[in-house]
Chain A
Amino acid sequence: MSTDIVTATMRESLAEPEREATLRRLQDWRQRVHTLYDDVQAKLGPAYHYDRTGKNRSLESRVQRAGLTEDDVPPVDVLRIEFDGRLAAQFLPRMLWMIGGNGRLDLVVSSRDGAQRFYTLIDQSLPFSNRSVWRLTRPSDSMASHPFCSERFHELLE
């Protein structure tokens, strides 16, 4: 396995996807995303309401090329966070396979005045390294990114 994420993801993208390996990657993706959600919920606490009934199933080209059907793909939760009866934030799984990252979530934060802020969360860890390295970017504002810190996530919602 390459030591940098760009080279590792390029190499993976050039290799023909195999069914079992692709499934393992999808299961790992689901696990990493759900661990992040669990962490966010634990840090935000009971003042917020959480809804994870929405599901996302990857339809990326590698999934199709590996011969997986939609039913084969492990569903990944969409996390909706509500406060005082209004939707405050939503985490949406966007893609697993990308050059330079080990999966991306989109995060939309809605402020009280109705304005929306759009962020991306990209895991910079190498595939199957068992330790996610989430990086938060607000691409409309600056491409500068920061490590995602669940302890300080509430600051984005204020």
Chain B
Amino acid sequence: MNDPLSLDDFYGAYRRTSSRIYRILEDGYDFAVDTLIIDILARNALIIDAAFFLLVFGQIEVRLNAMAEAGQPQNQREALRGQAFHRRLTMALPGNANADLRRDIADWSRIRNDAARGRELTSGYDIEAVFTQARQLDALLASSLANQGKELT
């Protein structure tokens, strides 16, 4: 199984993993002790959501890296991978015309970093909305790449 993973692969895996937690919740739900079981399982679901949030952003980062590296000589591509995310983002999406898009992606990156470091800035995620937005973002990046006349390597 060497095919690159896609957002659709992650979405399918998310659905299967998350649904199991909620099946346990339904099977064991008791109105008399509702708060306890919901809190425990909601915590598990939140961890799964955060993990998939990281994976989804990873896909966007792969796309951005490819964009930053497109057209660069091989030795500079390798050097780019060691650069800070902000630097690669600016190379992938240069100029004032991309300022809003860069800001949106930088926000994703900051949320991702906080989730990865175990900080709890948010109570939860609507992962379906996150996937929808990620697909739109991915398509936008692909379109931007095409407009730059570059090809992914």
What residues of chain A have their CB less than 8 Å away from a CB belonging to chain B? 2, 4-7, 9-11, 13-14, 60-61, 87, 90, 92, 94-101, 104, 106, 108, 110, 115-118, 122, 124, 137-143, 145
- The answer to whether A6 and B14 touch across the interface, beta carbons within 8 angstroms, is no
**Docked-complex contact A99 and B53, CB < 8 angstroms:** yes
> Which residues in B have some Cβ–Cβ distance to A below 8 Å?
14-15, 18-19, 21-23, 25-26, 29, 31, 34, 38, 42, 45, 53, 104, 107-108, 110-111, 120-130, 132-133
Complex Cα distance A137/B128, Å? 10
Give 23 pairs: A residue, B residue, CB < 8 Å, sorted on A.
A2-B104, A5-B126, A6-B129, A6-B130, A10-B107, A14-B111, A61-B120, A90-B31, A92-B38, A94-B42, A98-B124, A98-B125, A98-B126, A99-B130, A101-B124, A116-B29, A118-B26, A118-B29, A137-B128, A139-B19, A139-B22, A143-B14, A145-B128
Q: Within 8 Å CB of B124, what residues of A?
A: 94-95, 98-99, 101, 104
* Residue in A11, A98, A142 whose CB lies within 8 Å of B107: A11
> Which 5 residue pairs spanning A and B have beta carbons closest together?
A100-B126, A100-B129, A140-B22, A95-B123, A101-B126
Closest Cβ of chain A: how far from B49's Cβ, in Å? 9
Known contacts A14-B121, A108-B34, A142-B19; 6 further A-B pairs (Cβ under 8 A): A6-B132, A10-B111, A61-B121, A100-B125, A118-B26, A137-B128
Point out the residues of chain B lying under 8 angstroms from A117, CB to CB: 26
Cβ–Cβ < 8 Å partners of A14 in chain B: 107, 110-111, 121
A97 CA to B107 CA in the complex, in Å? 16
How far is it, in angstroms, between the C-alpha of A61 and the C-alpha of B120 when the chains are bound?
8
Nearest CB in chain B: distance from A89 CB, A: 10
Question: Is the pair A122, B126 in contact by a Cβ cutoff of 8 Å?
Answer: yes
Task: Tell me if A98 and B122 are in contact (CB < 8 A).
Answer: yes
Q: Specify which of A97, A99, A140 is in contact with B19 (CB 8 Å cutoff).
A: A140
In the complex, are the beta carbons of B31 and A110 less than 8 A apart? yes
A61–B133 Cα distance when bound, in Å, is: 25
A39 to B15, CA, bound (A): 31
For A98, what are the chain B residues with a Cβ–Cβ distance below 8 Å?
Answer: 122-126
Most chain B CB atoms below 10 A, which of A90, A115, A140: A140
Question: Given the complex, which residues of A lie within 8 Å of B130, measured CB to CB?
Answer: 6, 99-100
Instruction: Determine if B31 and A87 form an interchain contact, defined as CB atoms under 8 angstroms apart.
Output: yes
A6 to B29, Cβ gap below 8 A?
Answer: no
Nearest chain B CB to A92 CB, angstrom units: 8
A141 to B23, CA, bound (A): 8
Residues of B contacting A10 in the complex (Cβ-Cβ under 8 angstroms): 107-108, 111
